[in-house]
Amino acid sequence: MIKIEKLHKSYPIGKSSLHVLKGIDLHIKEGEFVSIMGSSGSGKSTLLNIVGLLDGHDEGNYYLNGELIRDLNEKKAAILRNKFLGFVFQSFNLISYKTALENVALPLYYKGMARKERLKVALDYLDKVGLKDWANHLPNELSGGQKQRVAIARALVTKPKVVLADEPTGALDSKTSDSVMDLLKDINDEGMTVFVITHEEEVAAQTKRIVRLKDGVITSDELTKAAKAV
């Protein structure tokens, strides 16, 4: 599903440049539940941005769903994101003046789905994350866990190939963290590829494969107990 070969990325800082990713090789197959572990500055967010087509890479090859990603313009990237990727962010990133239902339906709007249909689909997904009764509430009327579940529903609504979660529990307490992780696990059980970035061991332990990143290189890549148990 995601295949990365000798990926390099550096950011210019003044006249010099900061080499963030130093030759990453990573292969994630369909249906995997992978977490990228690393402290801040390890390059994990950069990796997610590149995988999520939010940023370009300098060197190496990146195949998404078998397609080589190269020289994407904004328009093409937007269409690919809409088609293949679902995002879950640490800070939820819901649009504050839209209701939960409208937030979930937004990716379908960009897909070009008719309003009636997309609201119906969005409601189904809100039901799936257990928030059907909250459909017409604005984000600031929801708790953090609820917000993140709305965000997960939004990520799933287009039936993407991969769900990318950037510190999905970073802003949540441990109890709601667990419920969010359970939700991601359920999604994975249904066959969805889930790609989580985190710096918390407990979160990583709930995934099936942990890739550790340090200073822009992969230091370890192993299956967790959860994966072995299956």
Partner 1 sequence: MFDLDRWREIFQSINKNRLRSVMSGFTVAFAILLFTLLFGIVSGLSNSFKSAFADDAQNFMKVRVWKTSKPFKGLQTGRRVQLKNKDYNYITDEYKNKIQYQSARIFKNFSIKYKNEANAYSVMAVNPDHQFLEKTSIDIGRYINKRDLREKSKNIVLGRLIKKDLFGDRTALGKRVNVNGSSYLVIGVFSDEGGDNEERKAFIPITTAQTMYGNNDYVSEIVLGYDPNLSLDRAIAFGNKMERDLRNRMNIHPDDQSALSVRNMAEANKGIGQFMGILYAIVILVGSGTLIAGIIGVSNIMIFVIKERTKEFGIRKALGAVPSSIVGMVVQESVLITTIAGYLGLSLGTYILSLIGDSLEEDYFIKDPSVSASIVIGATVVLILSGLIAGYVPAKRAANIKPIEALRAD
- Binding residues for partner 1, rule: CB under 8 A, are 49, 52, 54-55, 74-75, 78-79, 81-83, 87, 89, 93-95, 97-98, 106-107, 109-111, 115, 154, 158
**Residue (123 or 210) nearer to partner 1, CB:** 123
Exposure string over 26-42, b if 16+ CB within 10 A, otherwise e? bebeeebbbbbbbeeeb
Residue 66 one-letter amino acid: G
DSSP states of 204-228: HHTSSEEEEEETTEEEEEEE-HHHH
Nearest approach in angstroms of CB 108 to partner 1 is 9
**Residue (85 or 210) nearer to partner 1, CB:** 85
CA 86 to chain centre: 6
Nearest approach in angstroms of CB 200 to partner 1 is 21
Nearest approach in angstroms of CB 182 to partner 1 is 24
Nearest approach in angstroms of CB 3 to partner 1 is 22
**Residue (153 or 210) nearer to partner 1, CB:** 153
Q: Which of 90, 89, 67, 93 is nearest to 80 (CA)?
A: 67
**Residue (68 or 78) nearer to partner 1, CB:** 78
Alpha helices, H only, 86-211: 100-111, 115-128, 144-156, 174-189, 201-205
